[in-house]
Amino acid sequence: MFDISMEKEPALSLLYALLAAAMSLLCISHYFFGHFDILLIQLMTIAILVFTSVFLFLNRNRALSQYINLLTLTSIALLAQYQLTFNPTLTLHWIYTFPVLSYFALPIRWAFALNLTVMLCTLSQLFFLLDFEHTIRALFIYMLIGLCSLCYAYVNTLKQTNLLKLAVTDYQSGAYNSRYLLHKLHQEIARSETTSRTLSMLAITIDDYQQIQDIHGKNVSSKLLKSFRYKLIALLRAGDDIFHNGKGTFYILLPNCSMEGGIVLKERLLKEMEEEYWGDVGDLQLNVGLASLNHKENAASFLHRASGFVHKQQQTALRLMSFNH
């Protein structure tokens, strides 16, 4: 899918830094009250938070950042479990914040597994450190905070996914849009040059699409485009991508497909589309262009050649109509 920047690393870097600053202030109070055992653990936690904050600020590798977040939160959880043995009341307040931090910093599955582990470990210790009533109360609070954090993380992930889909999808046809076509072309051309595999592209234009839209309206034309895309999906291979430029032209990217294979597919598509019933619109006049990637050709040139073949076919059809009249 089109890579839209939704990075959380700058926000996470700031969050870790703020947590380190807050814990630094607490360390001062622990020092004056003589809680030196807690002071040592919190100094270790501050060191971990500062390191992670600096790392996320400088690093741009998202995969590596996820593992650093996991390692950081696991380390904090281990320190909290150790501190729980001699100061359960104070430690519980820090443990309650763990679900919020983990679901914000980690993928949902990782955060859920880590929270479940922390909850079970905490519960097993609290049965020996506190009475039954306080243990159940702590479990209930942790589960409530964890459930709220999980719901927020799920809704946020769903929202981001929908935004990504909207950014790369043509709303009329449901196919990928022109912006994603250029992005995908760069990827496939680079892959083709690396693997020495062929790459072809079909351009299919619905002739007089603007006239169809003017006569039948946008609802009918949008329904036509969706039906056209569904028909293409049924005729194409699983790895072929369909794009629409918003003006009645579909582009089909055909990885690992030679010119000969593209010609066979082109003829099959034309035959199937001619036999299809398109409702109120009636028969469709299609113009099809086929291009195969040349050596060292860029994305713009490749797309221009495929579109150029369609334009030539349109001009030829117009000349034939003029000649017949």
Predicted pLDDT at 117: 95
Predicted pLDDT at 222: 87
Predicted pLDDT at 178: 87
Distance between CA atoms of residues 313 and 288, nearest Å: 7
Q: Measured in whole angstroms, how far is the alpha carbon of residue 177 from the centre of its chain? A: 16
Distance between CA atoms of residues 253 and 68, nearest Å: 38
Task: Tell me the domain boundaries of the chain.
Answer: 9-168, 178-324
Series of mean pLDDT values for 10-residue runs along the chain (325 residues): 55 91 88 82 92 88 87 94 88 91 92 95 91 92 94 91 85 89 90 88 87 85 89 87 90 90 88 82 84 87 83 56 47
Predicted pLDDT at 320: 45
Predicted pLDDT at 314: 57
Torsion, CA 122, CA 123, CA 129, CA 132, rounded to 10? 150
Distance between CA atoms of residues 111 and 102, nearest Å: 5
Predicted pLDDT at 123: 92
Predicted pLDDT at 214: 84
Predicted pLDDT at 315: 59
Contacts of residue 152, Cβ cutoff 8 Å, sequence gap at least 6 = 103
Q: What is the pTM of this model?
A: 0.68
What kind of architecture, by CATH, is found in domain 178-324?
2-Layer Sandwich (3.30)
46 phi and psi angles, rounded to 5 deg: -60, -40
